Structure 1
Amino acid sequence: MSFKTDILQIIKDESRVVFDKQIEGRFLSDTLGRLVGKADALVFAASTEEVSALLKYADANKISVTPRGAGTNLVGSTVPQNGGIIIDFSKMNKILEFDADTFTATVESGILLKDFQAFVESKGFFYPPDPGEKSASIGGNIATNAGGMRAVKYGVTRDYVRGLEVVLADGSVTWVGSKNVKDASGLSLKNLIIGSEGTLAVITKCILKIIPKPEYSKSVLVPFADLESGISTVQKILFANANPTAVEFVERKVVELGEKFTGIKYPHPEAAAYLLLTFDGKQNEVKENLEIIKNVVLQNGALDFVIPESPERLEEIWKVRGCLVKAVEATSEQEPVDLVVPIDKVAEFIEFVNKTQKKVGMQMVAFGHAGDGNVHLCVVRGSRSEEEWKTELQKNMECVYSKAYELGGLTSGEHGIGLSKRHYFLKETKNTNLQMMNAIKTSLDPHHILNNKISYVL
C-alpha cells in the first residue's frame, strides 16, 4: 500500500488530511514564516488513539513526525526538516474536566491559552502562566516551558503542570504525573517532557493546576532618567518583599517604536527607561505594597510613580509593551532573541548591547522581564541586503550570546531552542550534558523520528 493509503486508513476522515504540495506554507513554518520546511502529510488529529496509530506507523517505517500546536513559536520548533508527517492538534481543544476540589483542570493539548484562561476565570479561578502570545496552545506552552510577565511571582508553565498524557514514538500511550500535589515516586518523567519541544513524546492531554483568582490587581509605570538606575532598582523592589506580579523593563527608544505603531503615548517622554510593575492579591495588601514600592523607587531615582487613571489608560500602557515585537516587524525584518542572565547582570548586559549597537551599526531593541533576568532583543535588519544581513546577523548574534554566557546566562529563557537558536545552544552546552540529553532522547525515541534536528539532537 502507498503512504497516502496508509495514512487514510488511520485517519478515516479525508477532510482532516492534506498531502504534499497541497499543504499550506503556514503549516511548514513558525509564526515568523522565514524558516520553511517540507512535509508529506498534514494530519489534523482528533483523538489520542489517532495520534498513537500515526506514531506507531511512523516509527515502524522510520518516518519523521512534527507535532504542531498553534504554530506561534519564534524559533522554528514546528518546522519539519525531514518531510514526514505534521500532526496538528488544533482540533484537540476540549476542556475535559474542571475539578475545583483538587484545584485542577484537564484539557486536550490543542486548547488555546486565551480560551483556557477565560474559562477558568469565569469559574473564579486563575491560570497564572502568561506568555505574550495568548493564541498559543497549552501543549505548545508546555513543550517550551513558556514563561511570561507573571513568572516573577507565579513561576512558569512547569509549575502548573500536574500530569500529562503522552504518546511515545512507538505509539505507546501513558500518563506521567497526576492530580496529586506532591510526588516523590521515582523519576519525574513529567518534567522531562516539559520543555522538550516535542523531541521526546507527543502531549495529548494535560492536568493543570489552577488557583483562586486574585481579588485585586494594580499596575504602575515608573520612569527613570537612565536604564542603569531603573534596572538597579529592580533588586531593591524584589528585596522589599512586596511580591510584584510583573517587573518589566523597556527603554525609551523602544517605547517610541510602540508609540508609533499604536498611536498611544507614554507619560514622561524625557525618561530614558521605564519599569512597568503589577501587583495582585487582596486589595489592602496590594495598596500597602504599592506604598512600599513607591518609596523604594522614588528613593532610588525614579522620576515619578504613575498609577494609570483608568482601566482604559492601563490597557493602553500594556498594549504598548505587548506590541513591541510587532512594532519592530512593522519597520523591518528582525531576529528575535530570548536569553536570560542573572538578575544582577541585566543592566551590564543591556549596556553591552547598546555599546555593540553603536559599534557595529545594527539596531538591537531590548526589553523584557527584569524580575527574572529574561531579556528580549530584536536584532533589526534595516536596509541590509540578504547577504549582508546573513553575515552581520551571525557575527553580532555570536557576540551577544558570548556576552550573555560570560555573565552566567543561558540561550533561552522561555522561547526554546528550535532550529534558529540550535547553533548557539550546541556551542555553549557542555558535551557531557548533550550526551545525557541524547541518551534520554534515544531511549524514548530510538529511531529519532520526533521533531528531529532541533534542540539538543546531534
Structure 2
Amino acid sequence: MRRKTDPQAIAPYLKDASNSPPGAASEVVIPESAEELREFLKTNDQPITVSGAGTGLTASRVPRTGIIISMERLKRIGEVEDGTLCVEPAITLEDLDAHLKGTGWFYPPNPTETLASIGGTLATNASGSRSYKFGVTRDYVLELDILLADGRGARVRRSHSIDRPLELDDGSTIELPSIDYRSPQCKNAAGYYYQPGMDWIDLFVGSDGTLCLITEVRLQLRETPYDFLSGILFMASEEKCWDLVENIRRDRSVNIDPCSLEYFDRHSLMRLKEKFKNVPNAAQAALFFEQDVLHEEGYEPVLEAWYEYLESNEVLLDDSWFAQGPKDVEKFHLFRHQVPLLLNEENSRMGRVKMGTDMAVDDAHFQEMMRFYRKTLEEGGVDYAMFGHIGDNHLHINLLPDKDQSGTAKAVYDRLVDQILAWGGTVSAEHGIGKLKKNYYHKMVGKQTIAKLQTLKDRLDPKGLLGQGNLL
C-alpha cells in the first residue's frame, strides 16, 4: 500500500479535466491489490474520493475533504476467453485496444479520450461515437467485482436482478427498496440508472463513485470487423443534414447500417477549416458516418449502396470525403476529435471559459430539438459551436461567452435544459453528473426523487463516505 501525504504529491490528484478549482484531501492511498484495498476499507472512517485517470469532465474525482483512493496500480489484464475479457480498473482504453490487436476481438465503446481508465468509463457509463449502433459501456459489462465502503465485497453477474438481495462475501445481504423513478428512455448517463427488475450491475455502472469501488470487470467483446467504411459528408445547409440523419434512421438496411453518425454545424466547420483547408466553402454542415463491415466480400456492396443512397439525399458528393484505407479512417477520426481541441485552444488564447452541454432526447423530438437549439443559440447572442452524436440525438453545444457574457451564457444554458427536460430528455448522455451538473440533475429528477435515490445509496453506503458531493 502506497500512501502520499506530502501536499505536493497530493496536488495532481486534486483536479480533473473539467478545469474546476482543485479540491482538498489529507492523503492519497494507492492499493497494490483488491485484497489490500479491502483491508484498508475495513478500518477507514474518512470520506473517500475514488481517483481514476483524471480525464473526467464533471469534477467527480475533485475531493471535498477526506482521502483519495487512487486505483492506478490495479492494472491487470487477462486473456480473451469466449469473446470476454477481465480487466482491472486502471487499464486505459488505449491499453485495452493495444491488448486486443490481433485477437480478432474489439471493445466497441470508444470515448474520445483514449487515456480514460476503464474504471472511469464504468463510473460514468461512457460511450463515444459508435454508441449509435453499439450502445454504451453498461451494455458490455458481464461481471463486476466490487467493494463497499466498509470493505465487504461481492461478485455481481448479469441476470442477478435487484429483485433478489445482493449477497456479500461475509454472508450478509442487502436489499434495495423499490422506487417509482424510471431513467429517461434515451441515451443517458445522468445519475443512478433505475428500472424495475434491472440487474445490480446496471445500478453500479454510472454511479459516479458513490456506491462502491470496482476492482475488476469482465467485458463483453465483439468480433473485429474486416473494415470500417467511413466518410465525411458535406451539406449545403444544416436542415439538409438533419433530414439526412432522419432518412438514414428510417431506411436502415443490411447495407445502410452505420455505427456512427456525427454532426458538425457551420460554427464547427469554420474552426476546422483552420487545419483542414479542403473543407468546401459551400458546406454549412457535415455528417461523419462509419459502418462496420464484418467480412471482405461485403465491403463493395456496402460502398455501392452508400454511394447510390447519398446521390438521392442532396449531399455535396463531389466535395465529400470517403476513406480509401486505414490512414483515411484515422484522418476522419482526427477530424472529429479536433473540434473540442480547437475550441479549448481558442478559449485559452482568448481567456474565456466554455460551457458545454451533454443533453439528449428520444427520436420523436429530434427535428424539434435541432430547430430549438439553433433558434435559442442565435437569439442568445453568445458564440457557440455544436457537434457530436447526432444519431443518438446527443449534441455537444459549446457556449463560448466573452468575459462580460457569463450571465447571458448561463441563461441560454438554462433555457436549453428546461426544454430538454420538458421533452423527457437527460442533462447528461455520456459524461456523468459529478459535482458540476448536480443542480441540473436535481432539476431533472425532482426533489422527491432525489430523496428516493438517496435511500439506494444509504443501503449500500450508510455512512455516506463514498463520492461526497457527487450526484446527491
Q: Which residue of 1 aligns with 2:179?
A: none
Is 2:208–2:432's contact at 8 Å kept on the other side of the alignment?
A: yes
Is 1:340–1:404's contact at 8 Å kept on the other side of the alignment?
A: yes
Q: Which residue of 2 aligns with 1:354?
A: 374
> What SS is found at the alignment partner of 2:72?
coil
Identity %: 29
Alpha-carbon displacement from aligned partner over 1:381-432 (angstroms, at most 9, x marks no partner): 33x15xx52x333322211111222333211111001111111110121344
Which of 32, 47, 59 is the equivalent residue of 1:46?
32
1:344 deviation in Å? 4.5
Higher mean C-alpha deviation, range 158-167 or range 355-364 = 355-364
Is 1:169–1:445's contact at 8 Å kept on the other side of the alignment?
A: yes
Higher mean C-alpha deviation, range 169-178 or range 155-164 = 169-178
Structure 1 length normalisation: TM-score? 0.88
1:325 deviation in Å? 1.2
Which of 50, 57, 60 is the equivalent residue of 1:67?
50
Is 1:130–1:148's contact at 8 Å kept on the other side of the alignment?
A: yes
1:337 deviation in Å? 1.7
The answer to whether the aligner puts 1:427 opposite 2:443 as a matched pair is yes
Q: Which residue of 2 aligns with 1:91?
A: 73
Is 1:259–1:320's contact at 8 Å kept on the other side of the alignment?
A: no
1:342 deviation in Å? 2.0
The answer to whether the aligner puts 1:449 opposite 2:465 as a matched pair is yes
d(CA) in 1 for partners of 2:295, 2:365: 32
Q: Which residue of 1 aligns with 2:122?
A: 142
Is 1:279–1:286's contact at 8 Å kept on the other side of the alignment?
A: no
Q: Which residue of 2 aligns with 1:369?
A: 389
> What SS is found at the alignment partner of 1:174?
strand
CA RMSD of aligned residues (A): 2.0
Q: Which residue of 1 aligns with 2:213?
A: 202
1:362 deviation in Å? 1.2
- Unmatched segments (≥5 aa) in structure 2: 165-196, 348-352
Alignment CA distance shift 1:312-1:265 (3 Å): farther
Which of 261, 269, 275 is the equivalent residue of 2:281?
269
1:131 deviation in Å? 0.8
Structure 2 length normalisation: TM-score? 0.85
Q: Which residue of 2 aligns with 1:288?
A: 301
d(CA) in 1 for partners of 2:149, 2:91: 22
The answer to whether the aligner puts 1:80 opposite 2:47 as a matched pair is no
Alpha-carbon displacement from aligned partner over 1:315-362 (angstroms, at most 9, x marks no partner): 223212112112101111312221112234344333333333332321
d(CA) in 1 for partners of 2:42, 2:409: 41
Q: Which residue of 2 aligns with 1:320?
A: 335
Is 2:156–2:201's contact at 8 Å kept on the other side of the alignment?
A: yes
Which of 290, 297, 300 is the equivalent residue of 1:278?
290
Q: Which residue of 1 aligns with 2:360?
A: 340
Matches within 5 A, 1:99-110: 99-100=80-81, 102-110=82-90
1:151 deviation in Å? 0.8
Q: Which residue of 2 aligns with 1:257?
A: 271
Is 2:360–2:420's contact at 8 Å kept on the other side of the alignment?
A: yes
Alignment CA distance shift 1:159-1:27 (3 Å): same
**Post-superposition, which runs of at least 4 consecutive aligned residues in structure 1 deviate over 4 A?**
182-185
**Structure number with higher relative contact order (C-alpha < 8 Å, ≥ 6 residues apart):** 2
d(CA) in 1 for partners of 2:251, 2:302: 9
Q: Quick one: which amino acid aligns to residue 64 of structure 1? A: P
d(CA) in 2 for partners of 1:212, 1:399: 43
d(CA) in 1 for partners of 2:144, 2:409: 39
Q: Which residue of 2 aligns with 1:7?
A: none
> What SS is found at the alignment partner of 1:365?
strand
Alignment CA distance shift 1:362-1:267 (3 Å): closer
> What SS is found at the alignment partner of 1:330?
helix
Alpha-carbon displacement from aligned partner over 1:167-186 (angstroms, at most 9, x marks no partner): 101111211116xxx66684
Q: Which residue of 1 aligns with 2:233?
A: 222
Is 1:252–1:269's contact at 8 Å kept on the other side of the alignment?
A: no
Alpha-carbon displacement from aligned partner over 1:1-43 (angstroms, at most 9, x marks no partner): xxxxxxxxxx3xxxx3222623443311211322321111112
The answer to whether the aligner puts 1:26 opposite 2:39 as a matched pair is no
d(CA) in 1 for partners of 2:409, 2:445: 21
d(CA) in 1 for partners of 2:207, 2:445: 16
- Unmatched segments (≥5 aa) in structure 1: 1-10
d(CA) in 2 for partners of 1:345, 1:274: 21
Which of 260, 279, 284 is the equivalent residue of 1:246?
260
d(CA) in 1 for partners of 2:48, 2:385: 35
Q: Quick one: which amino acid aligns to residue 84 of structure 1? A: G
Q: Quick one: which amino acid aligns to residue 157 of structure 2? A: G
Q: Which residue of 1 aligns with 2:248?
A: 237
Alignment CA distance shift 1:26-1:404 (3 Å): farther
1:271 deviation in Å? 0.9
> What SS is found at the alignment partner of 1:339?
coil
1:125 deviation in Å? 1.0
